[in-house]
Chains A and B, each alone.
Chain A
Amino acid sequence: MTAALEVTNLHVNIGENRILKGINLRVNQGEIHALMGPNGSGKSTLAYSLAGHPAYEPTAGQATFDGHDLLEMEADERSRAGLFLAFQYPVAVPGVTVAKFLRQAVNSRRQAINPEDAGMPIPEFRRLLREKMDILGIDQKFAGRYLNEGFSGGEKKRAEILQMAMLEPKIAIMDETDSGLDIDALRIVAEGAVRLHEMNHMGVLVITHYQRILNYVQPDRVHIMLDGRIVESGGAELALHLEENGYDWLREKYGAAEAV
C-alpha cells in the first residue's frame, strides 16, 4: 500500500493575509514532482502548511496524507506518519548535537508505536548514523556539532538530507534545497534524495526556482504556482520551458499581479 499526499482546494492564511487560494495537488509515494513559481507565489507557504507550522492557518479545503487528515495532526504526528520537510532555512538549536537530535527523532518514532520502547540501542544507532553519513560524504565529526549552529549553507542542506536519510519518510518536501549550493554540493544533496527515492520508493515534492536540481532529481510532473494557486501542470518539459521563457507569459496568461 503506497501513501499519497493529497491536497484539495487548500486555502491558507498567515494572520490576515490570504496566501494559498485553493491548491490542488496529489503526490503518490514513489513519484517525483517539482513545484516551481516566482517568489511570493506561495510555494514555501504550502510546504510549511503541510508540515504543520502553527502560524499557518488553513481556512478551507483539505489535505490528507496516507489516509490521515493532515490538518488535524500536530507537526510531530505528521512527521511520524512519514511526511518530511527539508527546510530552506533550518534554524540553529544551540547546545543540541546532531547525534542527540537524530537519536531523539528516531526514538520518538519508536516510542509512538510502543510507549515502552527504550530507544534504539546505541550500537545500532551508531552504525545507522555512520552508514548514512558515509553515503552523504559527511564527516563523522559532524555528529558532535550543535544542530545547524555555525553551519555553512551547504552543511545545513546536507544536514537536512541526513535527517531525511535517517527518518526514511514516505514522502519528502524539499523546499529550495538547491538554493545557495555550489554545483558539487548540489550533486551530493540531490543524489542523496534520489537514492532514497530509488531504494525506499520515497515520493518527492521538489520546490525550486531552477532547472539544475531537476537534472538530478528528474520529475514525473512539474507544477507552476502563481499567486497562491497551481496554474499549470505538465511533464518535465514544462520546467525546461520555464527556464527558457521565465514567468512573464504565465502572468500575462493568468492576469496575476507582479510578484511581491
Chain B
Amino acid sequence: MADQVLERDQTENEMLAGVNDDYATKYGFADAEDYVFKAEKGLTEDVIRDMSARKGEPQWMLDIRLKAYQHFLERPMPDWGADLSGIDFSNIYYYIKPSARQEDNWEDVPSYIKDTFDKLGIPQAEQKFLSGVAAQYESEVVYHNIKRELEDKGVIFLGMDDGLAQYPDLVREYFTTIIPHNDNKFAALNTAVWSGGSFIYVPPGVHIEMPLQAYFRINAKNVGQFERTLIIVDEGAYVHYVEGCTAPIYSSDSLHSAVVEIIVKKGGRCRYTTIQNWSNNVYNLVTKRAVAHANATMEWVDGNLGSKVTMKYPAVYLMGEGAHGEILSIAFAGHGQHQDAGGKVVHMAPRTSSRIISKSISKSGGRASYRGLLKVAEGAHDCKSNVVCDALLLDERSRSDTYPYIEINEQDVTIGHEASVSKVGEEQVFYLMSRGIPEDEANAMIVNGFIEPLVKELPMEYAIEMNRLIQLQMEGSIG
C-alpha cells in the first residue's frame, strides 16, 4: 500500500519537473497554420452543404445536418445558466481540414502536426499503455491507429467521419437517437456542423482492458470545434474511453461544442473519462448523454479546468432493470472562469441505482456551479441514488452555487443528497506549514487532497496530469 502510494508520488514528481515553466510556452504554443482547406467564417446552409459534399457523406446525413441547422437558427440562446453573450457565431470557422488524407502510420503524419503531438506527449503515452490513438487535430482525425488485437476482437475504433464512411448503417441506426438534433441549441449546432470525434463499437462480451484514448486539441484562431462521438457497447461488453483536451492560448474567443452519445446494452459497461483544460477564452458547451439498458453500467468521469465558460452535465438514462449510473465530476474555476457543471440521472426502470459525486474548487474570483438533475419515473420502484456535492473556496472573492433539481415520481425509492461548501481551513494550512511545508505548497496539497477521491479513479497518466494542472492553476499569478 505504502509502496504503491510512493511509486505514484515518484512518477508524479518526475512528471512535475517542468511545472514551473511558463504556462503559455508549455500549453499555449501555436503552430503556423497550414491547412488544406479552410471554410469561410460564419455559418450558412451553403457552408454545411459544401462540408458534407467534401466529406462525401450520404444524403441522409446532409438532411440531418440541415434539419439541425434550422433548429439551431430557431432555438433561442439558453438563459438559465452561464453568461453566453460573448459568443459571436458569425466570427467562427466551422470546418477546417488539416491534411488531405487520414494517416495510419506515425511516420506519415506531417511534421507540424507531429510537433504538436510531441509537445502533448502523445507518442510516449502510446508507448506506455495506449491500445489505440485517435488524436484530433482541428476538425478531423489525422492520426488513427488501432492495434491488431482490437481489430481481431471485432472492435471498431475510428474517427467519426471514417465510421460514417465505413459503417453507414451502424451509424445511421444510432446517430441522434440519444441526443436528437433538436435537443438544445448547441447540440443542434453540433449536429449541423460536426466533424471528427470518435466512433466506437464493442461487440458482445468483448472486454477492452486498456483504455481507448483520443486527444483533442483546438489550434487555429477562432476555430469552432464540433466533434461528435458515438459509442456502442454491446451486451456484456466493456470499454473505457479517455478523452483529454488542451488548447493553446489566443486572445479572441473560441467555441467548443461537442456531442457524445453512448449506448450501453444489457450487462455492458462503459466508462468515459474526460480531462479538459481549454484556454481561458473558450466557451465549452457540451452535451453528453448515455443510455444504460438492463444491468448495464455507465460511468462518466469528468474533469473541467480552464475555459471561459463551461456548461456540461453528463447524463445517464437508466432504461433497464438493474442498470447503474455513476457521474464523478471535478471543476476548477479560476480568475474570470465560470464552470457550470454537474450531472443528470434519470431512473426509468425499477431497481436501478446511481451515484453523483461532484467536487468543485473556486479561486481568484472564479465561479463554480453544480447543476444536477435526479429524476425517478413513476413505476421505477426500489431505486437508489446518492448525490454528494462538495465545494472548496480558496478565497473570499470566489463563488460556488448548487442547483440540485430532484423530481421523484415514485414512493419506493432511497435518495440521499449531501452538499457542503468549505473554505481551505487556516488550521489545515497551519498544520502543514508547521511541518516545514511552504504556504503555497500546503494550499496545493489541500486542493489535490480534496479531489483525490476522484483523481484516483483516473488512469495514472491522467491522474498525474490532473495534479499538474491543479498545480498550474494554483500557481497562476492572475488575480
Contact = CB atoms under 8 A, between A and B. Distances in A.
Does more than half of chain B's interface fall in helix, strand or loop, or is it mixed? helix
B452 A96 contact: yes
B430 A53 contact: yes
B166 interface: no
B418 to A, nearest CB: 15
Interface residues of A, number: 45
A120 to B, nearest CB: 11
A74 B450 contact: no
A108 B450 contact: no
B439 interface: yes
B2 A52 contact: no
B428 interface: yes
Interface stretch (A10-18, A22-30, A64-72, A87-95): A87-95
B425 interface: yes
A95 B450 contact: yes
A100 to B, nearest CB: 6
Interface stretch (B4-12, B29-37, B83-91, B212-220): B4-12
A104 B444 CA distance: 12
Does more than half of chain A's interface fall in helix, strand or loop, or is it mixed? helix
Given A74-B433, A79-B434, A141-B1, A96 B439 contact: no
Interface stretch (A122-130, A209-217, A252-260): A122-130
Contact of A90 (B431, B441, B450, B451): B431
Interface residues of B, number: 34
Contact of A122 (B6, B432, B434, B435): B6
Contact of A108 (B425, B427, B436, B446): B436
Interface in A53-107: 53-55, 74-76, 78-80, 84-85, 87, 90-91, 93-97, 99-101, 103-105
B5 A144 contact: yes
Contacts of A163: 435
Interface of A: 51-55, 74-76, 78-80, 84-85, 87, 90-91, 93-97, 99-101, 103-105, 108-109, 112, 118-119, 122, 125-126, 129-130, 140-144, 146, 163, 167
29 contacts: A52-B430, A53-B430, A55-B426, A74-B439, A75-B430, A75-B433, A76-B435, A76-B436, A87-B431, A91-B427, A93-B449, A94-B449, A95-B450, A95-B451, A95-B452, A96-B448, A96-B449, A96-B452, A99-B9, A100-B5, A100-B9, A101-B432, A105-B435, A105-B437, A122-B9, A122-B10, A125-B6, A141-B2, A163-B435
